[in-house]
Copies of this chain bind each other. A is one copy, B any other.
Amino acid sequence: MQLNSEILSKLENIVGQSFVFTDEETRNHFGQDETEDYVFPPNVVVKPSTAIEISKILKIANQYKIPVVPIGARTGLSGGALSVQGGIGLSMERFNKILNIDEQNLQVITEPGVITQVLREAVAEKGLFYPVDPSSMGSCFIGGNVAENSGGARAVKYGVTKDYVLNLEVVLPTGEIIWTGANTLKNSTGYNLTQLMVGSEGTLGIITKIVLKLIPIQKHNVLMLVPFYKAEEACEAVSAIFRAGIVPSALEFMERDAIDWTLQFVEGLNVQVKSDIQAHLLIEVDGNYPEILMAEAEKIMNVVEQFQIDDILFADTEDEKKALWKMRRSVAEAVKAHSVYKEEDTVVPRYELPKLLNGIKNIGRKYGFQSVCYGHAGDGNLHVNIIKGNLSDENWKMEVPKGIREIFELTVSLNGTLSGEHGIGFVQKDFMDIAFSKPHLELMERLKYVFDPNGILNPGKILP
């Protein structure tokens, strides 16, 4: 794909010369996200700042059949923002304003290029709570969260991004600008384009404004780390906690290696792990009444003590809580620093977790790869990091994908699916046939075509 000077000058006329980039450094910068080691630079990077500019750009792209890839903070793990067919890389970084924190209606209207953590802090200052907290929240954009339907540790109690999106301003691939719904908590008015857009990974439209529901903030929490001698029992405990009537605000699972590598990677985390501990659960409850939280923590202790566990570590101070969360949030980075790896975002009904974990280990033995598993166990969402380690390039390229396919087949056989919160993007699309029948995939293709008749928007994603 080559963009000639005529097209470039049209783009410059729309956004201004200083927001069109064709230099290699910028193109490479916007050609990668956090997905393995892929680099797919766009031919040109354009930085618009209004929906109308995007509309004009899309009209040109349609005229010349040029791929357009919306690019957020490039923290994605499924390659959703990679310009796999070149074309125009549409950086959303200038859409960086929180437009209105509506304290009367408990809503916020924001542009998509706001960092999730910045948004969370801005509403927290008004006593309001946006609960969705992907591990990358310190750097990811809220628009990317909407595009991938991101989750995070608190999803187990509070839900994922889709549960907070009330309405979206979207530029359709053909250039029309619409609001998908209304700024209301309930809506039974026509087809739910809002929820169709959430998680569509930038393939159906470009999000330019987001209306999010907020809730009153919870003032207190209790955090505990429970070491299990058997990883399988840690998984069993997850389901048992819910059956005891508790909905924790976080319920995270970490295999032994995940913690060991993280303790090596992050300095100054004062956590000791005994040699025969296989896994940990990090469990949080939150609320407005400390005495209730203590009662709930006690109930949780009663549940986990039915399994083979070591001493429970309670985080007594804010610093101790921060340290435990830093450990959990650093796992992905620590694994990345340790070895080349592939990450799968499996999700199953939570009681199936032990079967999933055992199955993954068996598949690893069959194909000779090591895996490190951790994730949002309360949601049944297990991140499977497959480690290259000493595997040959040949093996990594030819054998490991067969093992991954078996992992996904197992996941689907357990009533689960391919991705809980990272999306399909570029790297998982060849596994979509495991989760969906041919008529189903064809239906999705026709849906895509309705929005994007020329297939210009983020091509080569989601659908195989």
Contact = CB atoms under 8 A, between A and B. Distances in A.
A69 interface: no
Contacts of A196: 191-192, 195-196
A374 to B, nearest CB: 15
B376 A186 contact: yes
B198 A192 contact: yes
Contacts of A182: 347, 412, 415-417, 435
Contacts of A416: 182-184
A302 to B, nearest CB: 15
Interface size class of A (residues with CB under 8 A): 35 or more
Contacts of A304: none
B289 A423 contact: no
Nearest to A453: B446
Report how many copies the assembly holds.
2
A455 interface: no
A378 to B, nearest CB: 8
A188 B349 contact: no
A350 interface: yes
A204 B187 CA distance: 18
B245 A186 contact: no
B380 A190 contact: no
A151 B292 contact: no
Contacts of A288: 245
A351 B289 CA distance: 27
A148 interface: yes
A172 interface: yes
A382 to B, nearest CB: 11
Contact of A189 (B106, B183, B242, B435): B435
Give the one of A189, A245, A289, A418 with max B CB within 10 A: A189
A148 to B, nearest CB: 6
Interface of A: 102-107, 127, 148-151, 155-156, 159-160, 162-163, 172, 176, 178, 181-193, 195-196, 198-200, 204, 215-217, 239, 242-243, 245-247, 288-289, 292, 295, 345, 347-352, 376, 379-381, 412, 415-424, 432, 435-437, 439-440, 443-444, 446-451, 462-463
